[in-house]
Homo-oligomer: A and B are copies of this chain.
Amino acid sequence: MIESGDLAVPAATVARLPHYLRALHALEADGVRTTSSTELADASGVGSAQLRKDLSFLGSFGTRGVGYDVASLSVVISSALGLGSTHRLAIIGLGNLGHALANYSGYTARGFEVVALLDVAAAVVGTRPSGSLAVEHLDDLEKILERESVTMVVLATPAHAAQAVAERVTASGVREILSFSPVALQVPDDVVVRSVDVAGELQILAFHAAARAASRSAKG
C-alpha cells in the first residue's frame, strides 16, 4: 500500500495505472468518448474486475449502466500519477542506452522534462546527443542537480559505477531513481528505485522457453 494524501493504493495497482492511462489516450485518439470496464480492460491487457477494483482505490468515477467518460477518467489517473507538475530528469551515463533515452521524444507529452545529461568520458562531455542539451561532467553532479532542480534521475551507467553514483544522487536529495544497471542499489529507505533489466527480461523468457521444451519432450 502506498499512501498518497487520503488515498491508499496497493503497489500492484499503481504499477497498472500507466497501462490504463495509455489505453485511455488511445481511445481518445480514436474519438471514443465513453468506455466500459470491459473495453478499457481489454485494451489494457487486464480483466475487467481487476480494472474496476483498481479504480475503486482512487475513487468512484463511472456511471452504472453507462461506463466511464474517457476524458475525465484520463484526468483522474493523470493526477493520481502526479503528472500535473513537471518532473525534471537528469540522465546519467550516455552510452548506447543513455543516448537512446536522451533522444526519446515521449517525455514532454507525459509530464517529464530532461534537464541534464551527465557522463565521465572526455569524448562525450560537451557533445549534444539529442541536439539540444550538452553533456556535462559527472564531477559536477551535485551542482547540476541543484542548478536544474532535478527531482528524478535515470541511471544508465555501467554496473560497476551505479552504486557510487546512486549514493551521491541520494545524498543530494533526489528520492526517485530509474536504474538500467543490473545491480541491487543500496539506498536510504525513503528512496524509490525502479529497475529495468533487459538481460534479466530475456532470461525470464528463456526460462519459459526451457519450460516449453521440457513439456514438449515429456508429452511427445
Residue numbers of A with Cβ under 8 A of B are: 2-5, 9, 14-15, 17-19, 21-23, 26, 42-45, 80-83, 87, 89, 96-97, 99-101, 103-104, 106-107, 110-112, 151-152, 175-178, 182-185, 190, 192, 194, 196-215, 218
Contacts and interface: CB of A to CB of B under 8 A. Distances in A.
A72 to B, nearest CB: 19
10 contacts: A4-B207, A4-B211, A81-B210, A82-B207, A82-B209, A87-B202, A96-B99, A110-B202, A152-B209, A196-B198
B207 A80 contact: yes
Contact of A44 (B111, B178, B184, B209): B184
A106 B199 contact: yes
A5 B207 contact: no
Contact of A87 (B26, B151, B209, B218): B209
B192 A82 contact: no
A190 B176 CA distance: 36
B196 A196 contact: yes
Contact of A192 (B103, B208, B215): B208
B2 A208 contact: yes
Given A81-B207, A192-B205, 16 more contacts: A2-B208, A5-B218, A21-B203, A22-B200, A23-B184, A83-B206, A97-B104, A99-B100, A106-B199, A110-B202, A152-B209, A176-B206, A178-B198, A178-B205, A190-B212, A196-B196
Nearest to A217: B5
A3 B146 CA distance: 51
